[in-house]
Amino acid sequence: MNWSKFQLGKALKITIPLALIIIGGLIFFEFADGLVENELHEFDHSIISVIAQAESENMTKIGIFITNMGDAVTLTVLTILLCVYLLVNKRYALAVFVASANLLGGAINWILKASFERERPSLRVFIEQGGFSFPSGHAMGSMIMYGSLAVIIVMLVDRLAVSISFSIIIAVIIMLIGVSRVYLGVHFPSDIFAGFAAGAAWLTMCFSCYLFYQTRKN
């Protein structure tokens, strides 16, 4: 069977998001199962021991600055600003995508934390942080917010080099936020990986709904 470019494009719009949702979901549930079965200790502490070697006063200051880029206040402000920008430019469907992905993503993270009730690490704690630990809200929230920002940039910027450059920068920011949480002692590495996986799956699901809406609309 010879597929046309239209058929191939349509198939990729379905299979790639579906694959990302499945992969993200599987990774999350793998860590969730490891948490329930109490099998994450060796994994977590092997990574913590590596990150702890970078401990210094300056590194702690940098870690606090980076981690603040993924806190609830920062992500909420960025979500509002991005939605306002999209509304002003009459990109209403994209604004709904960004708002729903981030607001509902925060609610989902709260539900997941309440479901697993994992206590935070008690050693090497550099900042005070309440609530439960699994999955990381900073990791999940930054994946959704900065990930949706990357999606918007790729969709609205015509120059491929600019889109790729911004996407790489955003990916690095997301990764550093996750590392900062482990460095500061408020999360286990498995919390971070699970948060990234859940955030990626949810973001992809929301964007797939946006694509479906646009397809039906056109």
What is the pLDDT at residue 22? 82
Q: Which residues of 123-148 are buried (b: 16+ CB within 10 A; e: fewer)?
A: eeebeebeebbbbbbbbbbbbbbbbb
Alpha carbons 213 and 218: distance in angstroms, whole number: 9
Model confidence pLDDT, tens digit, residues 126-174:
788 888 999 999 999 999 999 999 989 888 888 888 888 888 999 999 9
The whole-angstrom separation of Cα 137 and Cα 164 is 26
| Gap between the Cα atoms of 78 and 72, Å rounded | 10
Please give the Cα distance from 194 to 94 (Å, whole number). Answer: 26
Average pLDDT, the chain: 87
Percentage of the chain with pLDDT > 70? 91
Which of 191, 17, 9, 2 is CA-nearest to residue 109?
191
- pLDDT at residue 6 tops 50: no
The burial class, CB within 10 Å (0-12 / 13-18 / 19+), for 30 is middle
Task: Judge whether 156 and 216 are in contact, CB under 8 Å.
Answer: no
**Entry pTM:** 0.90
